[in-house]
Amino acid sequence: MPRVSIEHVIDMDYEGVTKVLTSFVRGIVSKSGLRGAVVGVSGGVDSATTLALLVNALGSNRVIALIMPDSRVTPDDDVNDAIGLVKSFGVDYRVYRIDSIVDSYTAVTGGGSKKSIGNLRARIRMTLLYFTANEENMLVAGTGDRSEILIGYFTKYGDGAADFMPIATLYKTQVRRLAVHLGVPRKIAEKPSAPRLWEGHVAEEELGVKYEDIDVTLFSLVDLGLTPKKVVDVTGLSDGVVERVVELMNAARHKQLELPSPSLESIYAYWPGFENARKTLGG
């Protein structure tokens, strides 16, 4: 049996975590002097959880959601999930289809690679978020989770740009459970992560590692302070999985963000799994 497992990662007091994150959001918006927050909603778990936290903290009348599909890469199911979600939370929302904006860029550049155009989509979405924030006197709430921030799985100045990051101290597997706790439909909470920057774009396929394995590795390396070799020993994960996560972390150094996010110390207080994992290691 592994001494450190995904159960240690997800063993959290999610009501306590909700209180910490809600207080953080209220404090950030209050200090800004602005009237609320704008968030992009994709139909995925990270943006859904961020939306739920914003509504809990600020009330639905102080949150605006933008849904920004490109019909060539965004499935209708994602758009419908996003619209259904924002309606269920009672927030003002706008649907901006970005097909023509992407085309206006590529008309000037003469085209581009799949990756370049995919990142362009993310950056176009962020410009629309900031345009709306300026118009509405609001902050932009980022939707990045800790897993994706640590391995650099975001677009610089795209989904990586925001005024604050409410879920940046939670791993993806923790976010999924917090989503259910906050009333996000299980269909969204359990949906495979898919940035949809190009057709058929699914996160785990591109990364080559499951999020559960990513999270156990990151937890062991970052929170427990173990060496890669020790991670293999105590988790039972393969050398290849741990090496892949370390490789992603090293490649992402230039992308690390210093945006306001809840402190890890405040999260540890509601994370029994962290303390239990330390005890199994004799720490």
- Model confidence at 196, pLDDT cuts 50, 70, 90, reads confident
Q: Is 201 annotated as a binding residue?
A: no
Catalytically annotated residue among 148, 213, 215, 223: 148
Distances (CA, A) of 185 to 142, 195, 229: 21, 19, 39
Q: Phi and psi dihedrals of 164, rounded to 5? A: -160, 160
pTM to 2 decimal places: 0.93
Mean pLDDT score, 111-130? 96
**Residue 253, annotated ligand binder?**
no
Q: Give the mean model confidence (pLDDT) for residues 204-233.
A: 95
The region of weakest confidence among 130-144, 149-163, 244-258 is 244-258
Q: Note the pLDDT tens digit of each residue in 125-150.
A: 999 999 999 999 999 999 999 999 99
What is the mean pLDDT of the segment spanning 99-110? 97
φ/ψ of residue 17, rounded to 5: -60, -40
Q: Checking DSSP bridges between strand 63-67 and strand 92-95, what pairing results, if any?
A: parallel
47 annotated binding-site participant: yes
144 near 168, Cβ under 8 Å?
A: yes
Bridge partners of 95? Answer: 67
Mean pLDDT over 178-206 rounds to 88
Whether 78 sits among the annotated catalytic residues: the reply is no
Average pLDDT over residues 153-161: 94
State the Cα angle at 209 between 152 and 260, rounded to 5°: 30
**Portion of the chain with pLDDT greater than 90, in percent:** 89
Q: What is residue 283's predicted lDDT score, i.e. its pLDDT? A: 66
Task: Evaluate whether 225 touches 178 at the Cβ level (below 8 Å).
Answer: no
Q: Give, in order, the Cα–Cα distances in Å from 50 to each of 13, 40, 46, 171.
A: 18, 9, 6, 13
Q: How many residues comprise the chain?
A: 283
Q: Is 46 among the catalytic positions?
A: yes
Q: Is 255 labelled a binding residue?
A: yes
What is the second-level CATH architecture of the domain 6-280? 3-Layer(aba) Sandwich (3.40)
The pLDDT of 175-204, averaged and rounded, is 89
- Predicted confidence band at 1 (pLDDT cuts at 50, 70, 90)? low
How far is Cα 78 from Cα 231, in angstroms, rounded to an integer?
36
